[in-house]
Homo-oligomer: A and B are copies of this chain.
Amino acid sequence: MAEASVDAFDALIRKLNRLADLSDDDRQAIATLPVRVSRLTKGTLLVQEGSLVSDCCLLIQGYAFRSKIGPDGDRQIMSFHVAGDIVDVQHLMLSRADHDVETLTDAVILRISHSDLTALIDNYPSIRKSLWRSSLIEASIFREWIFNVGQREAVARIAHLICEFAVLREAAGLGGCGEFDLPMHQHHIGEATGLTGVHVNRMLRLLTQNGILKQVGRSMRVLDWQRLQAVGEFEPDYLHLEA
């Protein structure tokens, strides 16, 4: 179990270490957190709007997304998550969830109790700083999404979304930006960009016709990373990956 935990925390430690230097002590404290591991199928709710949350979820394999549902059943996706993300740090401080988090694919998660995590951040300032930074970066990404949905036209929104996903994937150590599968359906892309699935389809077609994306089986590959960034006006500064 100790072995397994260290492996499991690998993605988290790599991520936190990027956000603030961790000492061996810090790393040790993380790796010995009491946790519960779960294997989940896609479409499982990790957090449900309105509920009281008592654990934090660390995603260690697979993908997840954050969304809200309106009164008419229309859903807006607000973020996608990759291995290493704690998908609900905010519930350490805001007990009632104001949105859902759901697995996009089959996934493996660790649950950490709020009390253990609170103790950790109270006693380890570097870890606290990492987590705080990480929640501030998340906020920065939300701001960029407001811009994306509010100002860009359809193709650009989609291109931007794909670029961001590629970079976050890469930062999580899941492989380069040029060659990867998109785990989300066209419908999800629509929900994330404020467009219809139908229109997403048309825009993806446009991108493939221009040789920017390529269809491989059911999912997409990036053929021309440069042009994809240009179309999406993608500038990764807002991700605060360095400094």
Contacts and interface: CB of A to CB of B under 8 A. Distances in A.
Interface of A: 50, 66, 68, 70-71, 74-76, 78, 89-90, 93-96, 98-99, 122, 125, 129, 132-133, 135-140, 142-147, 149-152, 193-194, 233, 237-238, 240, 243
Copies in the complex: 2
Nearest to A194: B150
A97 to B, nearest CB: 10
Contact of A143 (B89, B135, B142): B142
A149 B98 contact: no
A76 B143 CA distance: 9
Secondary structure call for the A interface: helix
Contacts of A146: 76, 78, 142, 145-146, 149
Contacts of A145: 142, 146
A53 to B, nearest CB: 13
A95 B133 CA distance: 11
B78 A140 contact: no
A124 to B, nearest CB: 13
Given A90-B136, A132-B93, A146-B142, A98 B237 contact: yes
Contacts of A138: 139
Contact of A194 (B74, B144, B149, B238): B149
Contacts of A96: 237, 240, 243
Contacts of A74: 151
A122 B125 contact: yes
Contacts of A193: 150
